[in-house]
Chain A
């Protein structure tokens, strides 16, 4: 790639190199630790994946609670409508099919959402 590079390509490479060299010390240190862990064949320490999904779980739970409060005892969730939109579809968005892997990775979150839905139904409806 070095030969036949135009000035434009040289400039792009140079400014990218400069941005790499200007990485802060903390990032370099974290990369270094991650590399050592990888070479040793162990998972680097990182926060559990469910933590980043906890706020989304709160949204899903709030939606479930709101639906159950607004339409207590309707029995058939397929018939529940808000402004012409089926709210159950909104809840399903939280666990949509393309992220099935996430359900496997974050079982606590999805089990918690299911629990919340169950509790809301008993407590509010």
Chain B
């Protein structure tokens, strides 16, 4: 497993420090140069967010099982990264973004838990928005082709989602970031806010459980 250069890893672990290089470049540049640098920075941030937004959405959706909540979580994470950490070096954005994302997921899960306890007091234990019959036209096919490979991939994804959902939260995070997102151990540790050793342990256990559960069924 490739490790990032030591100085990179150390730099990512620093918290609460300004990117003095970027700040110095801004100060050195004239007014026009500053504007160009800001524009360049915004474009870099836009490219980064574009590269992670869809994957982040799927990760949040798998965790909270609700598309609207997942979208809110990703929106919040993007805004928080841009507002609070946009000035940090671009190579730090990814672990920071996923750390914010998982904080958002945990907040959403806590709210959902309280909400469901309150809704459990509702007569008949029905959520108010679930009391109507399903729309009979909702599930009718729109006539678009549905290739069998796509169906099989979708079923495999559902099995993976179920198995992931049964894992302890930290194992799920380690597997998602390491395997599905392709982050290295140092990045994953920075995103999860734990040691690299913990990441390896969580990942190893997650992989073992998932292999045992999904195994040949895949």
Contact = CB atoms under 8 A, between A and B. Distances in A.
Interface in A30-65: 30-32, 34-39, 41, 43-44, 46, 52-53, 55-56, 58-60, 63
Interface of B: 1-2, 42, 45-46, 49-50, 53-55, 57-58, 67, 71-72, 74-75, 78-79, 81-83, 110-111, 114-115, 117-119, 121-122, 127-129, 150, 153-154, 156-157, 160, 178-180, 182-184, 207, 210-211, 214, 218
- Chain B contact surface mostly: helix
A104 interface: no
Contacts of B117: 93
A96 B117 CA distance: 11
Interface stretch (A15-23, A74-82, A116-124): A15-23
Interface of A: 1-5, 8-9, 11-13, 15-16, 18-20, 22-23, 27-28, 30-32, 34-39, 41, 43-44, 46, 52-53, 55-56, 58-60, 63, 90, 93-94, 96, 98-99, 102
Contacts of A37: 75, 79
A85 B12 CA distance: 52
Contact of A41 (B49, B71, B74, B83): B83
Contacts of A44: 75, 79
Contacts of B58: 16, 19-20, 23
A60 B82 CA distance: 38
Contacts of B183: 1
A60 B118 contact: yes
A59 B83 CA distance: 37
Contacts of B210: 8, 12
Contacts of B57: 23, 27, 31
A39 B207 contact: no
In this complex, the member of B54, B160, B182 whose beta carbon has the largest number of chain A beta carbons within 10 angstroms is B54
